[in-house]
Amino acid sequence: MSSSDKGSRRHDSRESRDSYHMHNSEGRFNKESKYDDPPHSRLFIVCGKSITEEDFREHFSKYGTIEEIWVVKDRVTEEPKGVTYIKFSKTSEAALAMEEMNGRCIGNHPRPLKVLIAHSREQGSRREINEEERLLRLFVVVPKTLNESDLREHFSQFGDIDYVSIVRERGTRESKGFGYVKYHRMSHTAKAFENCDRSFKPVFADPKPQKDSKMDVFRGNNDMREMRNDGFGVDSGGLNPDGVTRLTVIASPSVNQDQLWRLFDLIPGLDYCDLRKDRKSGQTRGVANVVYNNIQSATYARDKLHGFEYPPGQRLIVKLDGHSHHDMPQCSGAPSLALVSANAGGGARPPPNNIQQDLATQLAETIAQATSLIQAAGLSQQGGSSGAMIGSPSSGGVGETYNPSYCSVKLPPPQPLAPVDSQVVERLFIVCHPSPPPLYALKDVFGRFGNLIDIYMLNGKTFGYAKYASKESADKAIMVLHGQEVLGARMKVMEADPHDKNDSGRKRLRMDDQN
């Protein structure tokens, strides 16, 4: 019975995985979690080849509930490879077993065991920087009123703390509402992970140095869809033949020039972005020429944006001009692109690293905003009688078209959002009846007065807040939008009362310890 009760280990997932944030496209992760649920509960053991499953069971079952022991054997010869996986039901059990058994010998087998927490199947044997710290440190959400001593006080019951930290605003030292707790031993971290007050929402912290923020924007943000590379050509791994700075982009016709310009302008060095509608084989689509003033930016744009769904379901095709064809305005085969080999000169200036985080943030915002426009256009046309599909040529000027089924009042064209770290000059209180429209629509509508920093609705409530970096923009939004409708929801829009930052939002901790 090497694989005991698999069925029962599908225990219920953590309490606060809010389904709100987890609709579709999680398929890939389920596969992994099947082997690593709860996280880091599987051991990877390097050992003498003669050790049997029963040897392992005898020496490891004292640390907890073993769900499976798998002694890896060669597929053809069936000879043991000296590697075993042991799946525990809890992270802390695996951690304790590792701490106790690593380096020990069992039975009369001479070779000491090497006992590690297994990597994900995806990661395999790849080395990871900061490996130890990853399993010793928790990321926790904390009430803003909580200080480091409070945090330490709660978490010290689970073991010896290396440090606790709360991340604070640089200037004001105000808590940002999250922090880290680090222990010296993984079993302590795991105990805290399992037993701390659930309002901390603990997770094992990511290692701090992120090698590449590249795709971060596409993960964890629900407005995004995952960027894939299948379908169109091969991933050329960042190569850029002949110093090409010009790209050809094929986009859904629902994307307009302004949206496309904003998207590609997030990468520094954009010289030119020209979109035209193109009819090929009965289909309309947008074809754009995009030129950067340096090779690195062009390559970077191709790597980032090729295959990206913008809007969701509409994949961009981004090619470096001249990559596969040269100087041919038309090519045989389907996508006959304007492939004008060009080199707009310019210095070899790579996108600086420090902009990458901003890039990620802005990219997410810009895409969300553009997506809202496109989806709104789509919804409005569904509502109408024309039967036209999203992206019919008539929707080219989405920005300025008065569209009563989207919003009951004529709106200014879309504006970029203000930087996330802008100073909040005015906050609006928004109430929607009977229920709030999708956030992307609100974001678009309230964004059109410029200088919108952020807008959110409270979960399950009919009200929310919009933060502006400019009083003029905020006041205009009130004047134009109060009493109007967005996608059938009537809105009240008024200045928000100042947020009382004191105890009102304080969360209670149940300081009960459960082991």
Partner DNA sequence: CGACGGGACGC
Task: Confirm or reject binding of residue 2 to DNA (CB under 7 A).
Answer: yes
Beta carbons within 8 Å of 352's beta carbon, 6+ residues apart = 268
Q: Is 479 in the site for DNA (CB under 7 A)?
A: no
Sign of CA dihedral 266, 267, 271, 277: negative
Q: What tokens does 466 get? A: 């919009």
Which residues on adjacent β-strands are paired with residue 86? 43, 69
Q: Taking a C-beta distance cutoff of 8 angstroms, is the pair 394, 247 a contact?
A: no
454 is a site residue for DNA (CB under 7 A): yes
Ordered alpha helix ranges (H), 159-227: 186-195
Q: Is 28 in the site for DNA (CB under 7 A)?
A: no
Site size toward DNA (CB under 7 A) is: 65
Which of 139, 232, 261, 272 is close enough to bind DNA by CB under 7 A? 139
Nearer to DNA, 116 or 344 (CB): 116
Compare residues 162 and 278 and give the one whose CB is closer to DNA. 162
The three-state secondary structure class of 377 is helix
Q: Say whether residue 154 binds DNA (CB under 7 A).
A: no
Closest to 248 in 3D by CA, of 225, 284, 267, 272: 272
Q: Where are the alpha helices (DSSP H) in 196-282?
A: 257-265
**One of 65, 100, 102, 141 touching DNA (CB under 7 A):** 141
Task: Determine if 433 is a binding residue for DNA (CB under 7 A).
Answer: yes
Draw the binding track, 278-297, toward DNA (x: CB under 7 A; -: no contact): --------------------
Contact flag: residue 488 with DNA (CB under 7 A): no
Q: Is residue 426 within the footprint of DNA (CB under 7 A)? A: no
Does 70 contact DNA by CB under 7 A?
A: yes
Give 251's strand partners.
Answer: 286
Q: Does 50 bind DNA (CB under 7 A)?
A: no
Residue 317 or 359 having the CB closest to DNA? 359
Write the CA distances from 303 to 10, 228, 341, 486, integer angstroms.
Answer: 38, 11, 19, 36
Determine the interface stretch with DNA among 267-275, 364-372, 456-464, 480-488 (rule: CB under 7 A): 456-464
- Note whether 25 binds DNA by CB under 7 A: no
Strand spans (E) along 185-269: 203-204, 246-251
Q: How far is the CB of 492 from DNA (least distance, A)?
A: 4
Q: Which of 462, 482, 484, 509 binds DNA (CB under 7 A)?
A: 462
Distance, in Å, from the CA atom of 132 to the CA atom of 182, rounded to the nearest integer, reads: 11
Q: Report if residue 75 touches DNA, rule: CB under 7 A.
A: yes
User: Which among 393, 389, 370, 373 has a CA at the least distance from the CA of 381?
Assistant: 389
Residue 367 phi, psi dihedral angles, 5° rounding? -70, -40
| Separation of alpha carbons 251 and 188, rounded Å | 51
Q: Does 109 bind DNA (CB under 7 A)?
A: no
**Residue of 9, 99, 109, 116 interacting with DNA (CB under 7 A):** 116
In the complex with DNA, the residue whose CB is nearer, 105 or 141, is: 141
Please identify which residue in 505, 506, 510, 513 interacts with DNA, judged by CB under 7 A. Answer: 505
Which of the 8 DSSP states describes residue 504? G
Which span (377-385, 391-399, 411-419, 496-504) binds DNA, by CB under 7 A?
A: 496-504
Among 104, 176, 277, 410, binds DNA (CB under 7 A): 176
Amino acid at 351: P
Is 499 a residue that touches DNA (CB under 7 A)?
yes
Site membership for DNA, residue 22 (CB under 7 A): no
Per-residue burial over 237-246, b if 16 or more Cβ lie within 10 Å, else e, is eeebeeebbb
Q: Among residues 213 and 343, whose Cβ is nearest to DNA?
A: 213
Residues 335-394 that bind DNA (CB under 7 A): 354, 357
Contact residue for DNA among 9, 46, 312, 342 (CB under 7 A): 46
Q: Which of 79, 212, 230, 500 binds DNA (CB under 7 A)?
A: 500
Separation of alpha carbons 440 and 462, rounded Å: 15
Q: Record the tokens describing residue 181, joined without a space.
A: 């707790």
CA separation for the pair 215, 201 (Å, rounded):
24
Cβ-count burial 384-409 (b if 16+ within 10 Å, e if not): eeeeeebbeeebbebbeeebeebbbe
Torsion of CA 484, 485, 486, 487, to 10 degrees: -170
Shortest Å distance, C-beta 228 to DNA: 22
Q: Is 35 one of the binding residues for DNA (CB under 7 A)?
A: yes
Smaller CB distance to DNA: residue 316 or 466?
A: 466
120 makes contact with DNA (CB under 7 A): yes
SS3 state of residue 137:
strand
CA triple 101-102-103, angle to 5 deg: 110
Query: Which CB, 75 or 333, lies closer to DNA?
Result: 75
Which residues here bind DNA, judged by CB under 7 A? 2-3, 6-7, 18, 35, 44, 46, 68, 70, 72, 75, 81-83, 85, 114, 116, 118-121, 123-125, 139, 141, 144, 165, 167-168, 170, 176-178, 180, 201, 203, 205-208, 220, 354, 357, 429, 431, 433, 454, 456, 458-459, 462-463, 465, 467, 492, 494, 496-500, 504-505
